[in-house]
Amino acid sequence: MPPKRIAVLGGGSFGTAVANIAASNGHTVKLWMRSEKQAQDILDQGENSRYLPGYKLSERLTPELDLAAAVSDADYVFVAVPSKAFRSVAEQAIPLLPAHTALISLTKGIEPGSFKLMSQILHDLAPSHEVGVISGPNLAKEIAQNQISATVIASYSQSLRQNVQQLLSSQFFRVYGNPDIYGVELAGALKNIYAIITGLAVALGMAENTRAAIITRALAEMSRFAVRLGANPMTFLGLAGVGDLIVTCSSQLSRNYRVGYYIGEGDSLKQAIKRVGETAEGINTLRMVHEKAAEMGIYMPLVGGLYAIIYEDQPIREVSGKLMSGDLAQDVEFMGAGI
């Protein structure tokens, strides 16, 4: 692929990692951020010292404080801001784009109030632009270390999927395609809830058998929910589903896992979020999914239990003791009635 002009909106850890992959592949990349200090650190030190300290960035990556300067000539714009700010940033950026620019979300979350996924926001605001989503087991620090990693680009557009695969694939980073944009994005948002649950359980002394039970029941629960909303159940057997769920429920590099762990240690929610120092999307996603599941009558005992702990201040051990006493459900979802 000839060199392209790329803008990444959001200077957090994953946005920086993706920007650096593209720049290392020979593309011209502008990394837009609001913090002058953070931008100056990249110029002076060649690294994002706040979110990815110690990892050198490509010289083809330039920090940018001016949104118009970042996107006005971009062929591809990757949006990597927290879900609560996503619409606002997109509304500012989209009128500045060339007609051919493709938009790709890197944000794993759901918009408060509307229950819209980030791709739906982009489709609404930019109906004439191609839209995609990247999601998968992508811990930013491991990507920055050139640890072998893989992700999924989901889009209704086959050409966009193929182009993003070429933009970002490298010796260390593999990009797979999936047309189920809704399923891939829901998987990325939902798994954050179960990472919080797992972190909390580890802090309480969870055994490995328990972790396996939580992860597999989480997979059943999140796929059950997503399929009711229109996703393809097969998506949850791939990187964006079970792959992302395993890593986020197993690694202390996961922000949501750490929030759960600190709560399990006795911190308040506010204290836990402050200790993590970055947005943990699972907290807001939990509230919205709990409300949606109740509205649609979807059985989600893990979500209900965590909601009781986080938002109703119920005792952790009392709630955790009830989680295994619910309905005796089918082991594997979607195998058919009577099996």
Catalytic residue positions, numbered: 191
Q: Are 289 and 196 in contact (CB under 8 A)?
A: no
- Determine the Cα–Cα distance for residues 336 and 193; give it in Å rounded to an integer: 27
3-state DSSP call for residue 25?
coil
Query: Between 181-203 and 208-228, two packed helices, what is the crossing angle to 10 degrees?
Result: 150
List, in sequence order, the alpha helices (H) in the chain.
13-24, 36-45, 67-71, 83-93, 118-125, 140-144, 158-168, 181-203, 208-228, 244-248, 255-265, 269-276, 282-296, 301-311, 316-322
Burial profile 326-339: b = 16 or more Cβ within 10 angstroms, e = fewer: eeeeeeeeeeeeee
- Determine the Cα–Cα distance for residues 109 and 252; give it in Å rounded to an integer: 20
Residue type, 244: D
User: Rounded to the nearest 5 degrees, what angle is found at the Cα of 334, between the Cα atoms of 331 and 337?
Assistant: 85
